[in-house]
Amino acid sequence: MTTDESASSRPLVYAHRGASAAFAEHTRAAYLQAIADGADGVECDVHLTRDQNVVLLHDANLDRTSDGTGPVADRTLDDLRLLDFSSWKGARIPLEFGGKSDQLLTLPELLDILREAGRDIGLAIELKHPSPYLLQLEDRVLEVLESEGWDPATSKVDNISVSFMSFSPDSVKHLLKTVHAEFVCQLVDDVNAEEIREELGLGVITGGALANVMRAAQVEGERILNDCEVRLAGPGIEYVRRHARTVKRWLDSGRRFRVWTVDSDEDVALCRELGIHEITTNRPAQVLARLSDSKHPVS
């Protein structure tokens, strides 16, 4: 567990989908391990089920991280409870982290886990788009948080400090109608049409069309940050490397930076050198150890 004093002298460390290098991403085990590792906060991605439950999953489809197939949005929560979301990782789950059937989490269940952390902790919620439910995703997430006691003025639920993120400028603009700008993060990354086609298995025409839509979103996201409409900037580590002058301008303008996904010693050192405020990592224990290493002081 970190103290406020120790955390203030280094970047805050957010566990990316939990301690996802150790256990399957977004699972109960991954989040419990992140808390045990001393992470200052955790990150999660959210989707809506057919019956409008907010579940913690990165992909819009079930194929990669479960033994199910097809869109998340086509399944009810009860349907999803029948699936295995942890075995694909090949990591043995300790008994205290629950059984195989306990690993899928809803947003309220993650809040309960974080309440039990015994300390203040951050929660970064990424709203995933495109969503078949459009901006109803944002409305439902805020509705769930309000039912759990979320205070819009402080963006806190009990001991949990909540922030919101999206690559979608439409999502960010919609959130800003309800959420203060200091708690909203515009995510940005470079768009590579070839990588998109390969990752999603798309043809040249479809992949190119999607890349054009994503490039337009990137340009608008960069404008939102240039115009200081949100306080939090969320570039990927490779974006930070490629766009040093843009990053410096945003830093100088008072943007708070949350950089993803930072796992290597080299990337941790770069973030410290630049004065990055928050690091999102799959390996919170290792990154915290690196940051506390007196042989590598902040430049």
The SS3 assignment for 58 reads coil
Ranges assigned E (strand) in the chain: 12-16, 41-48, 54-56, 121-127, 156-157, 160-166, 184-188, 232-235, 256-259, 278-281
Dihedral over Cα of 76, 89, 99, 116: its sign: negative
Say which residue the tokens 């337009």 belong to: 216
Active site residues: 16, 58
Closest CA to 13 of 115, 122, 154, 116: 122
Distance separating alpha carbons of residues 230 and 256, to the nearest angstrom: 9
Distance separating alpha carbons of residues 208 and 135, to the nearest angstrom: 25
How far, in Å, are 132, 143, 184 from residue 178 at the CA level? Answer: 22, 11, 10
Distance separating alpha carbons of residues 266 and 136, to the nearest angstrom: 40
